Structure 1
Amino acid sequence: MSNATFVAPDLTTFCRLDELGLVAVGQRLERVRAVLRCRVVAPDQWCRRCGCEGRVRGTVIRRLAHEPLGWRPTTLEVVVRRYKCSECGHVWRQDTSTAAAPRAKLTKRGLRWALEGIVVQHLSVARVAEALAVAWNTANDAVLAEGKRLLIDDPDRFDGVNVIGVDEHVWRHTSKGDKYVTVIIDLTPVRDGTGPSRLLDMVEGRSQAVFKDWLADRPQTWREGVEIVAMDGFTGFKSAAAEELPDAVTVMDPFHVVRLAGDALEQTRRKVQQHIHARRGRKGDPLYSCRRTLLTGAGLLTGKQHARITGLFADERYVEVEVAWHLYQNVITAYREPDRGLGKFFLNHQIQTQYPTIPTGCTEARRLAATLTKRAGDVLAYFDRPGTSNGLTEATNGRLEHLRGSALGFRNLKHYIARGLLECGGFRPQLHPQL
Structure 2
Amino acid sequence: MSQPTCPPAQIVADTIIRTVELGVRITDAALRGEVTVLWCDLLTDGPGTCPGCGLVGIYRDSVERRVSDVPVVGHPLQLRVRVPRYRCVHGGCAREIFAHDSSRLARRGASTTRRCAEYVLRRLAIDKVTVAAVARELGRSWDTVNNVAVTATEQLLLSAGPARLDGVRVVGVDEHKWAHVFGADGDGFVTVITDLTAVVAGQGRARLLDLVPGRSAAAMRTWLEARDQGFRDAVQVVAMDGFGGYKNAATDAVPDAVTVMDPFHVVALAGHKLDLCRQRIQQDTLGHRGRTGDPLYRARRTLRTRLALLTDKQRSRLETVFAADEHVAVEVTWWAYQQIIAAYAAADRRRGKAALTAVIDRIRSGLPAGLDELATLGRTLHRRRDDVLAYFEHRASNGPTEAINGRLEALRRNALGFRNLINYRIRSLLHCGALAL
Structure 1 and Structure 2 fold alike (TM over 0.5): yes
Query: Does structure 1 retain, via aligned residues, the 8 Å contact 2:224–2:232?
Result: yes
Query: Does structure 1 retain, via aligned residues, the 8 Å contact 2:64–2:82?
Result: yes
**1:417 matches 2:419:** no
Deviation at 1:6, TM superposition (A): 8.9
Residue identity opposite 2:355 in structure 1: F
Deviation at 1:250, TM superposition (A): 0.5
**1:65 matches 2:54:** no
1:86–1:236 CA distance, 2 compared to 1 (3 A): closer
**Matching residue of 1:159:** 166
Query: Does structure 2 retain, via aligned residues, the 8 Å contact 1:120–1:428?
Result: no
**Matching residue of 1:432:** none
Distance 1:58 1:46 in 2: 12
Provide the secondary structure at the position in 2 that maps to 1:154: helix
- Higher mean Cα deviation, 301-310 or 190-199? 190-199
Deviation at 1:249, TM superposition (A): 0.5
> What does residue range 282-361 of structure 1 map to in structure 2 within 5 Å?
282-361=291-370
Distance 2:254 2:57 in 1: 64
Residue identity opposite 1:160 in structure 2: G
**Matching residue of 1:93:** 99
> What does residue range 9-20 of structure 1 map to in structure 2 within 5 Å?
10-20=12-22
Deviation at 1:358, TM superposition (A): 2.7
Deviation at 1:196, TM superposition (A): 1.5
> What does residue range 31-430 of structure 1 map to in structure 2 within 5 Å?
31-48=33-50, 53-85=56-88, 88=91, 90-151=96-157, 154-155=160-161, 156-177=163-184, 178-386=187-395, 388-429=396-437
Aligned length: 425
Provide the secondary structure at the position in 2 that maps to 1:361: coil
Distance 2:313 2:160 in 1: 59
- Higher mean Cα deviation, 391-400 or 301-310? 301-310
1:18–1:352 CA distance, 2 compared to 1 (3 A): same
Residue identity opposite 1:335 in structure 2: Y
Provide the secondary structure at the position in 2 that maps to 1:268: helix
Distance 1:119 1:230 in 2: 26
Query: Does structure 2 retain, via aligned residues, the 8 Å contact 1:45–1:53?
Result: yes
Query: Does structure 2 retain, via aligned residues, the 8 Å contact 1:116–1:428?
Result: no
Query: Does structure 1 retain, via aligned residues, the 8 Å contact 2:349–2:393?
Result: yes
Residue identity opposite 2:149 in structure 1: V
Query: Does structure 2 retain, via aligned residues, the 8 Å contact 1:57–1:84?
Result: yes
Deviation at 1:16, TM superposition (A): 1.9
- Higher mean Cα deviation, 192-201 or 341-350? 192-201
Residue identity opposite 1:266 in structure 2: D
Please, which runs of 5 or more residues in structure 2 have no aligned partner?
Answer: none
Residue identity opposite 2:381 in structure 1: L
1:94–1:383 CA distance, 2 compared to 1 (3 A): same
Query: Does structure 1 retain, via aligned residues, the 8 Å contact 2:363–2:378?
Result: no
Distance 1:306 1:40 in 2: 78
Distance 2:4 2:413 in 1: 44
Provide the secondary structure at the position in 2 that maps to 1:201: strand
CA RMSD across the alignment: 2.0
**Matching residue of 1:433:** none
Query: Does structure 2 retain, via aligned residues, the 8 Å contact 1:44–1:95?
Result: no
Deviation at 1:90, TM superposition (A): 3.5
Deviation at 1:232, TM superposition (A): 0.3
Provide the secondary structure at the position in 1 that maps to 2:182: coil
Distance 1:410 1:52 in 2: 49
Report the TM-score, using the length of structure 1 for normalisation: 0.93
- Higher mean Cα deviation, 19-28 or 6-15? 6-15
Provide the secondary structure at the position in 1 that maps to 2:106: coil
Provide the secondary structure at the position in 2 that maps to 1:284: coil
Residue identity opposite 2:265 in structure 1: H
Query: Does structure 2 retain, via aligned residues, the 8 Å contact 1:44–1:94?
Result: no
Deviation at 1:25, TM superposition (A): 1.5
Which deviations, in whole Å up to 9, do the C-alpha atoms of 1:322-357 show, x marking residues without a partner?
122111101111111122221111111121235434
Which deviations, in whole Å up to 9, do the C-alpha atoms of 1:389-410 show, x marking residues without a partner?
1011111111111111111111
Query: Does structure 2 retain, via aligned residues, the 8 Å contact 1:360–1:366?
Result: no
Please, which runs of 5 or more residues in structure 1 have no aligned partner?
Answer: 430-435
Distance 1:136 1:318 in 2: 59
Residue identity opposite 1:321 in structure 2: V
Deviation at 1:247, TM superposition (A): 0.8
Deviation at 1:278, TM superposition (A): 2.4
Q: Percent identity?
A: 44
Distance 2:376 2:159 in 1: 45
Distance 2:206 2:242 in 1: 21
1:62–1:333 CA distance, 2 compared to 1 (3 A): same
Deviation at 1:163, TM superposition (A): 0.7
Query: Does structure 2 retain, via aligned residues, the 8 Å contact 1:269–1:287?
Result: yes
1:6–1:290 CA distance, 2 compared to 1 (3 A): farther
Deviation at 1:5, TM superposition (A): 12
Distance 2:282 2:4 in 1: 75
1:121–1:40 CA distance, 2 compared to 1 (3 A): same
Distance 1:45 1:191 in 2: 58
Deviation at 1:52, TM superposition (A): 5.3
Which deviations, in whole Å up to 9, do the C-alpha atoms of 1:124-182 show, x marking residues without a partner?
11111111111111111111011001126632222221110011111112332412111
Query: Does structure 2 retain, via aligned residues, the 8 Å contact 1:262–1:328?
Result: yes
Distance 1:190 1:146 in 2: 28
Deviation at 1:414, TM superposition (A): 1.6
Query: Does structure 2 retain, via aligned residues, the 8 Å contact 1:268–1:324?
Result: yes
Deviation at 1:69, TM superposition (A): 1.3
Distance 1:148 1:415 in 2: 11
**Matching residue of 1:21:** 23
Distance 1:218 1:237 in 2: 17
